Chain A
Amino acid sequence: MNLTQRIPILKVGRVLIVPIQFDMDDQTVMSLQESILSELERTGARGVLIDISLLEMVDSFIGRVLSDIAAMARIMDARTVVVGMQPAVAITLVELGLELKGVDTVLNVEEGIKLLRGELDARDDEDEESFFGEMSAIAEQINRT
């Protein structure tokens, strides 16, 4: 891989932030997909935020890979949000017939973080509830015996 084409993946809290800062060729897009997934595994992050505000074009290949990343990340228990799509890019994508299936998109990084944080917090609450629920069920069992 060409080193000048490497896209940084930053971990902030439980979220991976991926700022795409230049036009990517197919090779770079594919290695980005791999890097994100291995970073998810390595860091245990639960969210992925991909900033495409500097991307001047999203074609069917990049669109498909973005959908794939979201699907694969979901299987690895992480949520993906794509932020900052330029209006011209959005119009062209829809005309091209792409919907970015399974990908949440928001206007900017701030909104993206808000969305992911909300998701993660909600999940934590659920986890906590089910944890305490389980514990009290176990306690009840113990009391009965």
Chain B
Amino acid sequence: MAVARNEVRTAAATIGFRLLDQTRLATVASELARNVVKYGVRGQLIVQPTHESDGREGLRLIFEDTGPGIPNIEHAMRDGFSTGRGLGKGLPGSKRLVHEFKIESEVGRGTRVTIVRWI
């Protein structure tokens, strides 16, 4: 997780994100990587510099795990909902820190969370 945070912060800095956005992205990486480590039997984080058609640059992060999956995404996205020892802030909180947030999950197969933050 510490690795994920550093990796993401470095990537964000390279693209030219200001300090506040670097912090936001590193925090999101920490929250979502924790889910991967906690629930995923095997997981990965893909760090992808990206840009829109108008040339605006951004960073896309994809968190994939082969964990139990999320039966009810709507519940999982609610503030304060938690299955573990967390505060239930991880998913909904992370969504507030980025511009795009997509979560796909299949029970028994795994979960993929994709986020983008634009500069």
A75 sits at the interface (CB 8 A): no
How many A residues touch B, CB cutoff 8 Å? 22
**B30→A57 contact, CB < 8 A:** yes
Q: What's the least CB distance linking B96 to chain A, in Å?
A: 5
Seen from chain A, the residues whose Cβ lies within 8 Å of a Cβ on chain B are: 23-26, 56-61, 63-64, 86-89, 91-92, 95-98
Check A23/B96 contact, CB under 8 A, given A57-B26, A59-B27: no
In the bound complex, what is the Cα–Cα distance between A122 and B2 (angstroms)?
41
Chain A positions within 8 Å of B24 at CB level: 88, 92, 95
Range for the number of chain B residues in contact with chain A? 20 to 34
**B93→A96 contact, CB < 8 A:** yes
Q: Which of B13-38 contact A (CB under 8 A)?
A: 19-20, 22-24, 26-27, 30-31, 34
In the bound complex, what is the Cα–Cα distance between A63 and B93 (angstroms)?
13
Partner of A95, one of B30, B86, B96: B96
In the bound complex, what is the Cα–Cα distance between A61 and B37 (angstroms)?
14
Q: What's the least CB distance linking B77 to chain A, in Å?
A: 12
In the bound complex, what is the Cα–Cα distance between A87 and B19 (angstroms)?
10
**B93→A23 contact, CB < 8 A:** no
Partner of B5, one of A23, A91, A92: A23
B92 sits at the interface (CB 8 A): yes
**B34→A61 contact, CB < 8 A:** yes
Q: What's the least CB distance linking A127 to chain B, in Å?
A: 36
Q: What's the least CB distance linking B80 to chain A, in Å?
A: 9
Interface string of B26-52 (1 = CB under 8 A from A): 110011001000000000000000000
**B30→A97 contact, CB < 8 A:** no
**A59→B31 contact, CB < 8 A:** yes
Partner of B27, one of A86, A87, A92: A92
Chain A positions within 8 Å of B9 at CB level: 56
Q: What's the least CB distance linking B16 to chain A, in Å?
A: 16
**B5→A60 contact, CB < 8 A:** no
Check A60/B93 contact, CB under 8 A, given A23-B6, A26-B1: yes
In the complex, the chain A residue whose C-beta lies closest to that of B22 is: A88
Partner of B97, one of A24, A56, A63, A96: A96
